[in-house]
Amino acid sequence: MTAAASVVTYMDIGALTRSSPIIVRGVVSAVSTVEGDAGGIFTDVRLEVAEVFRGPWGSTSLGLRLLGGRLGAREARVFGTPGFEVGEEVVVFASPTKSGWLTVTGLFQGKISIERANGETFAVRAVPGGSPGVVADRLSLGFAYFVFTP
Alpha-carbon gap, residue 112 to 61, rounded angstroms: 17
Position with higher pLDDT, 131 vs 45: 45
Using a cut of 0.85, tell me whether the model's pTM lies above it.
no
Beta-bridge partner residues of 65: 44
pLDDT at 129: 62
Span 49-66, average pLDDT: 90
Give tens-digit pLDDT for 90-121: 999 999 999 889 999 999 999 988 887 777 77
Domains and CATH numbers, the chain: 13-148 (2.40.50)
Element (H, E) at 34: strand 22-35
- Mean pLDDT is lowest, of 62-66, 97-101, 128-132, 145-149, for 145-149
Helices (H), the chain: 13-19, 144-148
Percent of the chain topping pLDDT 90: 47
